[in-house]
Amino acid sequence: MIKYVISICLLVFAHQAIAQKSSFEKAQNKYENVGVETINRLNKTTPLVLNEERLSLLKTIETYSEPYSDVLFKEYLKKNEKEAEELEHQEPILYAYRLAFEKVLQEVKTTKVKNGTAAIWMLYNMGFVIKTPSGCFGIDVDHRLADQLAPYLDFLYITHNHGDHANKGLMAAMKELGKPIITNFDIGNTPYFSETATSYKVGNFTLKTDISDHLRSPKLSNFVSVVRIDCGEDTGNFSILHCGDSGFDPTRFKKVDGPVDVVVLRWGAPRENEILGLGEGQVQTKYAILSHLIEMRHKPYPHGQASITQTLKHLPNVACDNTILPFWGEKLTWEMDKLK
């Protein structure tokens, strides 16, 4: 009788596991793709432990991206669903890109966030989705399929008007659902548009912004709106500062400075340390997250793309003891003042 019950339970679990797989993952069985095993192995590691196995997997993923040029990626983004999906099955880096979305979408739908915690996903590039006991929002969310997240987001924040941060499809889907999109460029989107430092309140979330340059470019001196979001008591007062593609000039962070739980940097370049400290316009953070990895629209490093190899070189010099390097689709949980 006990064996029979165990067999039934195992069968139920097996069916649940199969049901959780997307149609894309099921169809992958028809294709050979070296990226499948790499991503499966990476998903069994954690960004919180950068051991030899994880380092090896990240470097392997970089070898998938190197031969896939920005021109090819832009062409892929223009293809219809059937053609794009065919490429995702065959190309290792596109498989990683697609599976990251499948994973985040499924987990955002199904994750139940308990009181005192927050779930944090890095989707792609500098795009993050954060779910709390009382809400869910996105920052700089970009992906070919990003519009599918609209039903699950209460609001969307975009740091600046560049295609790898401001996804037009997701913006349109959010507007169609009547959900807030907060920007410094979507003119007429009152009350969620401002070209100056501003504060917003959406549900339990308090947002404070400051206006920065774009990578210290004099041509884009007021182009990026960095944001600090305090997520409320039901998360244990979790707070996150997203810097976008700012120039990391402390004089442009005075409205968002002070203690924060997590700061999202770019790739840990030396200038990013300028906002880390105790001075005016600086933040004191428990965790720093490096992002913007292998943004495929950009030409390969050193002509625009933030490579994994170079980011790993920056990592030891970031002025935060807890600096982590998540990859596409990975989830972190904030609980008891720690990321897990």
- 248: burial class by Cβ within 10 Å (0-12, 13-18, 19+)? buried
Residue 340 lies in a domain: no
Alpha-carbon span 204 to 186, nearest angstrom: 23
pTM of the shown model: 0.93
Q: Tell me the per-residue pLDDT of 182-220, one tens digit each, with 9 for 90 and over.
A: 999 999 899 999 999 999 999 999 999 999 999 999 999
Residue 274 placed within a domain: yes
List the CATH number of the domain containing 166.
3.60.15
CA distance 121 to 105: 10
Asked whether residue 25 is domain-assigned, the answer is yes
Q: What is the mean pLDDT of the chain?
A: 94
- Mean per-residue pLDDT for 132-159? 98
AA letter at 267 = W
- In this prediction, residues 58-85 reach a mean pLDDT of 96
> Which domain, by its residues, includes 40?
2-335
| Helical (H) or strand (E) element with 108 | helix 92-110
Structural domains in the chain (count): 1
291 pLDDT band (50/70/90 cuts)?
very high
Any domain includes 101: yes
Domain contains 256: yes
Classify residue 153: in a domain, yes or no. Answer: yes
The arithmetic mean of pLDDT across residues 24-51, rounded, is: 96
Measured between alpha carbons, how far is 33 from 254 in angstroms, rounded to an integer? 48
